[in-house]
Amino acid sequence: MNATTIIPITPESDLSEQEQHPLDAIPVPVPGVETRSDSYGNLHLRLAIEQGGWLDEFFRNLLHYKPSRQLCLDRNGADFWGLLDGVRSLRVISVIMAARSGLEEHAAEESAVLFTKMLMTRRFLLLEIPLSHHASHIFPTS
């Protein structure tokens, strides 16, 4: 069993405000999301819904029914989705979107947060929270 050293984080700790900011989270598509573009620049997302028990699977196969969640993103949404690479934070994505759309950075940040919330609510997106140097001592990854 590995011993873990716990370093208490107090208000006096040298964690900067930027390390603790929600915009430092990294949005990642849920595994299994299928995408399809149309001729209007929209992006269609589709995610198959997991099967329940054997009876559920039997009737789905009998009826050739494959339930899924679907969502159509406009050009701005498709542009946002295209920036999801598992590396860029919400802060970086909002700066890029602000530059592309001509929005002020604050408005782009607010839009990115609201759009992320909508995608998470519909279960198309997850957020990865990067651990700070101090947190990596509390929650070792290996």
Query: Hey, what domains does the chain have and what are their CATH numbers?
Result: 21-138 (3.90.930.60)
Helix axes 75-82, 105-121, angle to 10 degrees: 90
Residue ranges for the chain with pLDDT beneath 50: 1-18, 133-134, 136-138
How far CA 78 is from CA of 45, 114, 131, in Å, comes to 10, 15, 29
The pLDDT of residue 70: 96
Q: Residue 65 contacts by C-beta under 8 Å, 6 or more apart in sequence?
A: 59
The pLDDT of residue 38: 95
How are the residues of the chain apportioned to helix, strand and coil, as percentages rounded to the nearest 5? 40, 15, 40
Q: Residue 13 contacts by C-beta under 8 Å, 6 or more apart in sequence?
A: 134
